[in-house]
A and B are shown apart, each in its own frame.
Chain A
């Protein structure tokens, strides 16, 4: 018999504090799908994804019923498509369309992997692939794209950074009628990971097994609720409490991941030790930071509070799971977190503060709307800054930014659902174009030479 308080605590976490499994993501290798033509390849890709993920949604729903814990998203990630279409890069869109069709047929909301890894240099076929991204993202609904432009090991490919600024702008322009929604499905990474279950940046790395189940857990509401009971605890005790809470959350993820993998005949990949917010009240990472004693997220002290939170989540999570990976940490997307939305709307959190916060937490500048007339070179410069933080600090950083067409500071963009809404935030008006125009590679930092 379990301790009755433990049982009731779990029930309360699920019913009142939004504890859920955020995503069960099946990673599928597309390498065996390469055929002589784009058309044949696209068909094989569609058939492969449909076959491998056929039971994904039903299995996840069954697990959700048995364990009594919601599994919010069922998703698929695939091998970076640029590798599959290297022989016919201009026709990559056919594979993109096949993947989008498969996602629709499977009943999943997002499929990730329309991706390219160009951290050290851009091959000719990769550049052609990258140029297809705006059109493909505007013509599909569920497909997500990511591009890795730098790493601690290789430096930052500034030619790719320059190109990505243009691609982000063009993607926004092609999806102008939906506030630039295409950009919400496009992430630019430094140190991208191969086993990330979260969108829009999920792809299935070439170092992975054939079919893998990766799980992302969530529970900002649970952490906030736990902290409510210790309003006067010092930060050592608060960190300890977060650690213990993260342990419990992650154990639920580990259980679901192992069982899902078993039932789907796939390998158990990793559990991503994440705190992923949603726009729902009571499911906010920003509110955890405020619970720690900040009047509003974005004020001085926010970076320190986030650093503590992020570290405690990892420490609790690592103990709870036999295989951890992905992005693992607290996410701070603006449009997907009610506390962030409110703080940004009131002007209490700025792009500069968010950039500082990305030094100490998972990922980077995420779901941030900026004025539609922001020059492509400024977007490239934002990407370069973020990539530099990742490269020097040996962590993943990313930029998912939306230059909202025809919108200016003070306006709002709304994407609905989990993608939420965001105020258009100001960017610096200084000109970065000469710097970005130089191109080349920012060399890898000295501490990358470890061999």
Chain B
């Protein structure tokens, strides 16, 4: 399943390393990545493919969310369809 990972919060070192390592360990492939820093706010958006992952989507989303809490970031994993529906005609 193609999905979008968003990481938002105050900028700090090692966020990309931490998140991509986490996804690698769970066999989630990163297809595209984009990040931006607005002031002290960090926002990263990753397109990922979860179809090879051993974990089901809901568990993966929950695990990512709790890992985010540990590093003080807000991390969400969402099916790409929600963004596609809302922003593409």
Question: Which A residues contact B (CB, under 8 angstroms)?
Answer: 1-4, 6-11, 15, 62, 65-69, 248, 251-252, 254-255, 259
Tell me whether B85 and A252 are in contact (CB under 8 A).
Answer: yes
Q: Which residues of B contact A2 (CB under 8 A)?
A: 4, 45, 47, 80, 83-84, 87
Tell me whether A66 and B57 are in contact (CB under 8 A).
Answer: yes
Q: Which residues of A contact B43 (CB under 8 A)?
A: 4, 8
Tell me whether A65 and B57 are in contact (CB under 8 A).
Answer: yes
Tell me whether B78 and A68 are in contact (CB under 8 A).
Answer: yes
Tell me whether A248 and B86 are in contact (CB under 8 A).
Answer: yes
Q: Is the interface of A mostly helix, strand, loop or mixed?
A: helix
Tell me whether A251 and B85 are in contact (CB under 8 A).
Answer: yes
Q: Which residues of B contact A3 (CB under 8 A)?
A: 87
| A67/B81 contact (C-beta < 8 A), A4-B34, A6-B86, A252-B86 known | yes
A66 CA / B82 CA spacing, docked (Å): 9
Q: Which residues of A contact B84 (CB under 8 A)?
A: 2
| A248/B82 contact (C-beta < 8 A), A8-B6, A8-B43, A11-B8 known | no
| A6/B87 contact (C-beta < 8 A), A62-B58, A67-B79 known | yes
A-contact bits for B21-47, CB 8 A (1 contact / 0 none) = 000000000001010100000010101
Q: Which residues of A contact B80 (CB under 8 A)?
A: 2
List 20 A-B residue pairs with CB atoms under 8 Å apart, sorted by A's residue number. Answer: A1-B32, A2-B45, A2-B47, A2-B80, A2-B83, A2-B84, A2-B87, A3-B87, A6-B83, A6-B87, A7-B4, A8-B6, A10-B83, A10-B86, A10-B87, A15-B74, A62-B58, A66-B61, A67-B81, A68-B82
| A7/B58 contact (C-beta < 8 A), A66-B78, A67-B81, A69-B82 known | no
Tell me whether A11 and B82 are in contact (CB under 8 A).
Answer: no
Q: Give the B interface residue count (CB, 8 A).
A: 25
Q: Which residues of A contact B85 (CB under 8 A)?
A: 251-252, 254-255
Q: Which residues of A contact B83 (CB under 8 A)?
A: 2, 6-7, 10
A3 CA / B86 CA spacing, docked (Å): 12
B73 contacts the other chain (CB 8 A): no
Q: Which residue of A lies closest to B78 (CB)?
A: A68
Tell me whether A252 and B82 are in contact (CB under 8 A).
Answer: yes
A65 CA / B64 CA spacing, docked (Å): 13
Of B32, B61, B87, the residue contacting A248 (CB under 8 A) is B87
Of A6, A66, A248, the residue contacting B79 (CB under 8 A) is A66
Q: Which residues of B contact A7 (CB under 8 A)?
A: 4, 6, 45, 83
Of B34, B36, B76, the residue contacting A11 (CB under 8 A) is B76
Q: Which residues of A contact B4 (CB under 8 A)?
A: 2, 7
Most buried by A among B34, B47, B58, B82: B82
A248 CA / B36 CA spacing, docked (Å): 24
Tell me whether A4 and B36 are in contact (CB under 8 A).
Answer: yes
Q: Which residues of B contact A1 (CB under 8 A)?
A: 32, 34, 45, 47
Known contacts A8-B8, A15-B74, A66-B79; can you find 16 more A-B pairs with CB under 8 A?
A: A1-B34, A1-B47, A2-B84, A2-B87, A4-B34, A7-B83, A8-B45, A11-B8, A66-B58, A67-B82, A68-B79, A69-B82, A248-B87, A252-B86, A255-B81, A255-B85
Q: Which residues of B contact A69 (CB under 8 A)?
A: 78, 82
Tell me whether A67 and B86 are in contact (CB under 8 A).
Answer: no
Q: Which residues of A contact B8 (CB under 8 A)?
A: 8, 11
Q: Which residue of B lies closest to A319 (CB)?
A: B89
A450 CA / B61 CA spacing, docked (Å): 55
Q: Which residues of B contact A10 (CB under 8 A)?
A: 82-83, 86-87
Q: Which residues of A contact B86 (CB under 8 A)?
A: 6, 10, 248, 251-252
A324 CA / B45 CA spacing, docked (Å): 33
Q: Which residues of B contact A254 (CB under 8 A)?
A: 85
A67 CA / B57 CA spacing, docked (Å): 10
A7 CA / B83 CA spacing, docked (Å): 6
Q: Which residue of A lies closest to B46 (CB)?
A: A1
Q: Which residue of A lies closest to B57 (CB)?
A: A66
A11 CA / B4 CA spacing, docked (Å): 11
8 residue pairs, one from A and one from B, having the closest CB atoms? A68-B78, A6-B87, A255-B85, A67-B82, A251-B85, A248-B86, A1-B32, A66-B79
Tell me whether A65 and B58 are in contact (CB under 8 A).
Answer: yes
A252 CA / B81 CA spacing, docked (Å): 9
Q: Which residue of A lies closest to B47 (CB)?
A: A1
Separation in Å of the B11 CB from the closest CB of chain A?
Answer: 15
A3 CA / B87 CA spacing, docked (Å): 9
A7 CA / B3 CA spacing, docked (Å): 12
Tell me whether B6 and A11 are in contact (CB under 8 A).
Answer: yes
A10 CA / B74 CA spacing, docked (Å): 14
Q: Which residues of A contact B61 (CB under 8 A)?
A: 65-66, 68
Q: In chain B between 61 and 77, which residues have their CB closer than 8 angstroms to a CB of chain A?
A: 61, 74, 76-77
Q: Which residues of A contact B87 (CB under 8 A)?
A: 2-3, 6, 9-10, 248
A450 CA / B52 CA spacing, docked (Å): 60
Q: Which residues of A contact B36 (CB under 8 A)?
A: 4
A67 CA / B58 CA spacing, docked (Å): 10
